[in-house]
Structure 1
Amino acid sequence: MGKLTTLNGILKDEASQMKLNVVHLCSSVNAKTIDLALLKATSHTSHNPPSDKYVTFLQSTVDTCYGPETVSAILHRLRLTTDVCVAAKCLILLHKMIKAESGYNEEDSLRDSNSHRTLIYNQGGSNLKLNDLNVNSSRFTRELSPWVQWYKQYLDCYLSIAEVLGVTPNIKDKTEDKRLETQRVSHYTTDCIFKQIDFLVNLFEHISDRPKTPTSKLNKIIIEMIELMVQDYFSVIKLIRIRFEELNERVAKPYELVPVLERLENCKEGLNEFSWRSKYLIEDFWCLVSKLKDM
């Protein structure tokens, strides 16, 4: 980061801090603390992803009355900033906030959860808006810019899935999570399951179309985006598998699955990079895809 860029970032962060102090003269301590944590997590002067310290604090507001305020504040900062790095951090924060929602529990297993996702994406409309970003300030921003544009679209896709499923696609390895999701799926109509699979496969396709990872120097923000994306990839594999297993019991004509299976196979090469992360999960999934296609 050049000296002028660093100085400019410091001045912007200090100006934001001063503005925050004025705005919150009559606000609650909690509201000011949330905004301060957001500023620290999305500073102009660091090329690192948001600090775990601030992420954890902001995530802790998700299931409280301050959850909507936190999400709205991140969206507001995202829309206003022209800094590529700040925009990337805002998107990462939103992703982590959504993933922090508790969706797989007994109470929510058969109905939609009361979610803050609707503040970001509701009824097919996205509130994820990027400003005209200054992409040419440095080599770092030029490398990061295509990832920010892609990541914004990725989150739109991710949130559209959450809207269709009624729950964030963030299933864990717990047996209980799988049981509850299997129970949910068993209550859906066949057409509904096909629709859900279609949206889930969209995420596979979007991951396959990700920008090329910079080879010049490790970009920690891009690495963080990829890590969150890979977590989603593994969750979506589990969600698709549960639906395939349900359809396999219901559908008398397996060829109805062929278009979806072909779309999946077209993504396979672009997803091979992550196979080593969960070898058996990946192998079992692609074996199931091949088996269904050959039926």
Structure 2
Amino acid sequence: MGQSKNLKHLQSICKDKAKIIKAAFSITNRTTTSIQITVLRATTRSAQSPPHDHHISTLLSLSNTTRHSTSACISAIIHRLHHHHHPNVYVALKSLLTLHYMIAQGSFSLKEQPLLHPMSATGFEFLNLSRFVDNTDIQSREFGGWAQWYAGFLESNLSTSTILGCFLSSSKMDIEKKKEKLKISLYMDLFKELEALVSMIEEICKAPSSLYCQTNDIIYEVMRLVGEDYRMIQYHTKIRLTELSERLHNLTKNELTGLARCLERLEGCKGRLTELFKNRKRNDSFWNLEGEVMSKLMKLKKNAEMKSVSRKMIEYVTESTQLNSQLSATSRQLRLLPYGESNYCLTFTR
């Protein structure tokens, strides 16, 4: 068993080196070649560790030189994710990690790459790992579930960023600018953004239940980055909850109902999130705000329902009164004669 594992490890090393040599001799410009080689080195078949920091730093540096290099960087990562003869879960996870680093730390031009926005707002699965399977061994199959989920999470990240009009990891200045615009945004736009953020939180909650896998350095790094995104999701959600809280009195009954359902979905995630990030700060202020908005919302919704019932009762009583009045008036106009009396004389002849 040990010899078989060592042999597979040796084969993986040879395959990685062969790809690096092939990239080095490919007919492309120097920057593109450097990007391809760095991506290969960052996404080796080894199960031991996530991409090294210096490889990520090199990619970030290379991607910032020109628009062509920016596009080449994203293309190389996506190509590495999909184009290999036999699915390898560690290559897939490291490719997704590398892409996540680019999304979180990359320049504005890198984040605006069309490859990162391929119909993402409509839920198009451009990373396409929903059926990913690596049957090499039990651990590979187990980690394959993490690769599927992580790809779905990154797709949700990009689609949510498209709806928000900014990336989760945008600078504080960009977020503050967006915050000012929210004050004049329509309710439907705010609700759409809040719903996208809640959907992303729900995607986090779909993480595989095999939390023991987090003892692996690669999975641990995945959850660390997801945890950072979750922190930013909370920040963006709090901004929109605060703005919506100030508008609750102006919402219709249907709008209050829709918002209540959205917040109920959010509350339903709390237990799972506590389980996933139990060693992190609980962010009580976030849940306290959500609870306050929900309480205020339910009170207004109840009042709206009571007013609706009262209005219907008043309308019913008014209609009944009007009907009785009409019947009384009609009765007086008829002036019915007593039985047996008549104003006419009938003559019978034989």
**TM-score bracket, shorter-length normalisation:** 0.7 to 0.9
Bigger relative contact order, structure 1 or 2, given CA contacts below 8 A and separation 6+? 1
Deviation of 1:266 after TM superposition, in Å, equals 0.4
C-alpha contact 2:41 2:55 (8 A) present in aligned 1: yes
Distance 1:191 1:237 in 2: 20
Aligned counterpart for 1:77 among listed residues 80, 83, 104 = 80
Q: Which residue, out of 247, 251, 254, partners 2:248?
A: 251
Change (3 A) 1:156 1:132: closer
Contact between 2:263 and 2:290, CA under 8 Å: does it hold in 1? yes
Measured against aligned partners, the alpha-carbon deviations of 1:76-98 in whole angstroms (never above 9, x if no partner) come to 11111311100111111111111
Q: Report the CA distance between 1:214 and its aligned residue.
A: 4.2
The whole-number CA distance in structure 2 between the counterparts of 1:53 and 1:225 is 18
Verify the 8 A CA contact 1:91 1:151 in the aligned structure 2: yes
Give the structure 2 partner of residue 58 of structure 1: 59
Change (3 A) 1:263 1:131: closer
Amino acid at match of 1:152: A
Instruction: Mark the CA change 1:202 to 1:187 in structure 2 (over 3 Å): closer, same or farther.
Output: same
State the alpha-carbon separation in 1 of the partners of residues 34 and 175 from structure 2: 37
Contact kept? 1:62, 1:100, Cα under 8 Å: no
Where does structure 2 lack aligned partners over 5 or more consecutive residues? 297-350
Of 87-96 and 128-137, deviating more is: 128-137
Number of the residue aligned with 1:110: none
**CA distance in 1: counterparts of 2:244 and 2:130, whole angstroms:** 43
Q: Tell me the alpha carbon deviations over residues 61-114 of structure 1, each in whole angstroms, 9 at most, x when there is no partner.
A: 4444211110011101111131110011111111111112456xxxxxxxxx78
CA distance in 2, matches of 1:68, 1:121: 13
The answer on whether the counterparts of 2:168 and 2:229 sit within 8 Å (CA) in structure 1 is yes
Which residue does the alignment assign to 2:339?
none
Aligned match for 2:117, one of 121, 124, 127: 121
What one-letter code is carried by the residue in structure 1 that aligns with 2:185? Y
2:93 aligned residue = 88
- CA gap 1:278/1:88 in 2 versus in 1, 3 angstroms: same
Counterpart position of 1:224: 221
Distance 1:136 1:114 in 2: 34
Structure 2 counterpart SS, 1:95: helix
Q: TM-score, normalised by structure 2?
A: 0.74
Q: Does 1:67 align with 2:55?
A: no
Instruction: Write the deviation string for residues 225-275 of structure 1: whole angstroms up to 9, x where unpaired.
Output: 101111110100010110111112223248342111100000000011325
Tell me the equivalent position of 2:268: 266
- Shift in CA distance, 288/131, structure 1 to aligned 2, threshold 3 Å: closer
RMSD: 2.4
Tell me the distance in 1 between the aligned counterparts of 2:231 and 2:46: 33
TM-score of the two chains, using structure 1 as the length reference: 0.86
Letter in 1 for 2:91: V
Instruction: Report percent identity of matched pairs.
Output: 31
Take 2:195 and 2:215, find their aligned partners in 1: how far apart are those partners? Answer: 34
Structure 1: which 5+ residue stretches go unaligned? 104-112
- How do 1:122-271 and structure 2 match up within 5 A? 122-123=118-119, 124=122, 125-130=124-129, 135-171=134-170, 176=173, 178-215=175-212, 218-252=215-249, 253=251, 255-256=256-257, 257-271=259-273
Paired residue for 2:344? none
Q: Which structure has the greater CA radius of gyration?
A: 2
Distance verdict in 2 for CA 1:212–1:275, change over 3 Å:
closer
**Matched AA of 2:22:** K
